[in-house]
Structure 1
Amino acid sequence: MQIDNLPDSLLIEILKRLPCQFVLRSKTVCKRWLSLVSDPFFIRCFVHHHQHDVNHSPPFTLVHQFYYWHHHVTETACRKIHAVSEHPILQTREFFLDFLPCFQHPDPWPIRIVASHGDLVVCHDNKLYSHQSKYYVCNLLTKQWRALPPIPGRHVEDDMAIGLVLYGDEYDLPMVSYKVVRILKLGSRSSHLISEIFSSDTGEWTESSLPCPPSIRRFWQFRTSAVTVNNALHWIINGNNGETVIVLDPFTGINGECRLIDPPLELKFEMAHVCLGTCREKLRMSTIKGVHPNRMLKVWELQDYENGKWLLQNRICLKEMVFVTDYQFDMLEFSTNLVLSFHPKDGDVVYLRCHNHIMKCNMRKGTLEVVTKCLGDPTFVIRTLTVFPLVHPCWPSLTA
């Protein structure tokens, strides 16, 4: 029997057992397969089958977009981003953002990624001196995107704090529900935090006002993008008593809830080079401390989320690390050794940036592996760092 003669029910049973990358490619076989694979019923069958596979572990992608602190990114830099991926499709693909509509304009504007959660990212096309800048929610794997509507009465402000939260029952496949949150920079006399929230369920932006914790009632500045865990957004922020973690939960109460989590005592007043992230759905912090040649990599995990209790998980000296490939150099001679991200599932793995290299560090094995090189800049500082960890579900999230 030719495969074209198979009934849909049998074809579904065959296709749902294939890896996702082969099923996605099968859309190009014929119109029938495209219709079948795109049907929500097939997607639910596929997800149900693979979620019960004990050997399945969602692939991880680390996206790193470098931008210059002293000038706006060039067209080349803003179109291409660096990535380290476990996904079989993304391992062989260069990352570009030129599938977004702003690049169809004869004079493309700088664009950068500003937030992520799950396998989706939020991109912002930063048209200078314009009130028409837009946000896009994108899937870098499928190159699917959705343009968000303009924010009523607002224009884009520099260093805006942005976050993305995916939610729902298994993200309500095949479509996902999500919220994009912007927090406005406030002055020293403000006692409230103003957030603007876009909901994919309503297709609209709403504005909320939340009381600020007293310790941050002065001029403050958010660090990089939000870390999403427990359906809440987390940023490192400077306060009256050193830097801390601010938490915004857009689902609690009428307008949401805002609170603080103190960092480990050792980091209270020196969080300039601290990485905030998640591993196995728990918040983590990490930094590289000390001076050459005894620089130490340290990792803390938040064991008690409600009471803010941290536990030191790892402490390892960089000079004791061993390179697992022939490509190696003396990383200790560089002062820009930074922790970029945690692996979302493997608690032993963190990713480091040393000068112009991104390295995979296995703390249990004591090994280092150079995974990619990235753009260099003599004025490189922590505030030029934008890192976005993506976790790919068994079926890619749709944004439309």
Structure 2
Amino acid sequence: MLTASTASSSLPFRILYRYIYESDIQHVLDRFSPESYNSSGLLLFKEQEKAVRFKVLAVYYVCDPVSRHWVSLGRRARTFFLEGFVSRVNENNAVTSYKIVRVEMRKSSLNYLNLDMYSSETGKWVEHSLFCPNPITLVKRGGGPISFNGILHWFVYSHGMVAFDPYEDLKSKSCRLIRFPADRDVQSEVMHDGLYRLCDGCQGKLRFFEVATDPYSRYCFSMWDMKDYEKGEWCSEFKVTRSDLSSSDPELKSWLGKATFLPLSFHPFDLDIVYLRCVELACVVSYSIRNRRLDVACRPTGVVDDLSWRVVVPFVITRWPTSVPIPPVPKKKVVTPKDETPTGRLTFMF
């Protein structure tokens, strides 16, 4: 597991490698214990079939790693993927409800989005079909979703993102398309399947960050902010050349003119910082937008060949234990072998 933290915010955070395999869920939770990480919050797990392993994907188990309070959401068919999680909180910032959305993957372009959604308010999984204004094909690898202001966004080919609000859009039975910035490097996006771009929310802003694939390109880093979400309008914030970059680390400084960088994550609290992977030095670096400076943030242990925004997420949790809303328990009924309705049971781990 790759971790990174900073003292620039009162709340600690980690850049978490999305796929964690352990023989026991307790081992995963121990990595987030107060003794080693002074904070707490909800953690989300997906259980692997035919193996006692867990995959951090925001599905099947919702857990507070500090109190060891976790809820099982039941088993579902594997035709739906690209799972997303959103929640609502009250005036005391306590989680009151959450919804988990799984999207069906199709090879052909369709004018609708098939969803499988779980609600903590009902304790049930329900399938939905939403109309899309244009035919869409979901990106299979690294397709998201990302959550921005409680709205889930899945990446699609040709258009950019398809957006869905689990608390609102079921009323209109439709979703919307949001295009990426028109002046981005479209050729790089097609050739490298979006590996060199990062799109995510940060401190109330929706941002698009792009890294040049060729060290001899005119611009090395470029960034856009969404200025009007309803209209889908982006505004270019900066375009930086290699000669603009600096570093206080001697080894990293010697590589600035030729190193390969892959975007990983925005800093969850600091709009000035973007984290990237330096391929040649096998380390994670932080980039200061204000100072155009690169610094070594951490040198992860283990293999990092596949490290990119597709497999890492910024994981932020508060200092106090979070109460996991308990879904209502469905009434008992005769269950056939093909019935996959979740039980809604609650389990505590210590």
Q: Please, what TM-score do these two structures have when normalized by structure 2?
A: 0.71
Q: How does 1:6-85 map to 2 (within 5 A)?
A: 59-65=11-17, 75=22
Q: Which one-letter code corresponds to 1:185 in the other structure?
A: M
Corresponding residue number in structure 2 for 1:265? 182
CA contact (8 A) 1:60 1:343 kept: no
Amino acid at match of 1:314: F
- 1:230 maps to amino acid: N
Structure-2 residue corresponding to 1:145:
70
CA apart distance, 1:283: 0.8
The answer to whether the 8 A contact 2:103-2:113 is kept is: yes
User: Larger C-alpha radius of gyration, 1 or 2?
Assistant: 1
Task: Kindly state the Cα deviation for residue 140 of structure 1 after the two structures are TM-superposed.
Answer: 4.4
1:359 counterpart = 2:278: no
Q: Residue type of the partner of 1:352?
A: L
In structure 1, the residue matched to 2:306 is: 380
Shift of 1:227: 1.6
Provide the C-alpha distance between the structure 1 equivalents of 2:11 and 2:296, rounded to a whole number of angstroms. 19
Aligned mates of 2:141, 2:163 — CA distance in 1: 12
Partners of 2:160 and 2:178 within 8 A in 1: yes
Describe the SS at the equivalent of 1:395: coil
2:111 to 187, 191, 194: 191
Higher mean C-alpha deviation, range 385-394 or range 203-212: 385-394
* Counterpart Cα distance in 1 of 2:224 and 2:177: 17
Moved more, 352-361 or 253-262: 253-262
**Counterpart in 2 of 1:248?**
164
Structure 1: gaps (5+ residues):
1-55, 68-72, 95-117
Other-structure match for 1:107: none
CA RMSD in angstroms, aligned pairs only:
3.8
1:206 to 126, 129, 152: 126
CA change 1:66–1:164 in 2 (3 A) is: closer
Q: CA deviation at 1:186?
A: 2.2
Provide, for residues 213-265 of structure 1, a one-character-per-residue CA deviation record: whole Å limited to 9, x for no partner: 3231x575363432212221012221xxx251110111224455411111101
Deviation at 1:327, TM superposition (A): 6.7
1:327-381 per-position Cα deviation (integer Å, ceiling 9, x unaligned): 746255443x111111233221111111231112111122222222235658637
* Structure 1: distance between partners of 2:272 and 2:229: 21
Q: Percent identity?
A: 25
1:144 and 1:350, CA in 2 relative to 1: closer, same or farther beyond 3 A? farther
> Structure 1 residues 149 and 219 mapped into 2: Cα distance closer, same or farther (>3 Å)?
closer
1:120 to 19, 42, 62: 42
- Which one of the candidate residues 350, 371, 390 is aligned to 2:297? 371
Structure of higher RCO (CA pairs closer than 8 Å, 6+ residues apart): 2
TM-score, normalised by the number of residues in structure 1: 0.63
Tell me the distance in 2 between the aligned counterparts of 1:93 and 1:389: 15
| Structure 1 contact 60–344 (Cα < 8 Å) conserved | no
May I ask how many residue pairs the two structures share in their alignment?
300
What CA distance in whole angstroms lies between the structure 2 residues aligned with 1:327 and 1:136?
43
The 1:374/1:299 distance shift into structure 2, 3 A limit, reads same
Task: Tell me the amino acid that sits aligned with residue 169 of structure 1.
Answer: N
With over 3 angstroms needed to count, the CA separation of the structure-2 counterparts of 1:124 and 1:296, relative to structure 1, is same
2:201 to 278, 284, 303: 278
Report how far residue 119 of structure 1 moved: 4.8
Residue 122 of structure 1, CA deviation: 2.4
Residue type of the alignment partner of 2:71: R
Question: Are residue 235 (structure 1) and residue 145 (structure 2) matched?
Answer: no
**Ranges in structure 2 where 5+ consecutive residues have no aligned partner:** 1-7, 326-350
Deviations 1:131-165 (A, max 9, x none): xx9721234455543221223xx2365xx211111
Counterparts of 2:251 and 2:96 in 1: how far apart (Å)?
41
Q: Which amino acid aligns with 2:178?
A: I
SS of the aligned residue for 2:135 comes to helix
1:168 aligns with 2:89: yes
Contact 1:222 1:236 in 2 (8 A): no
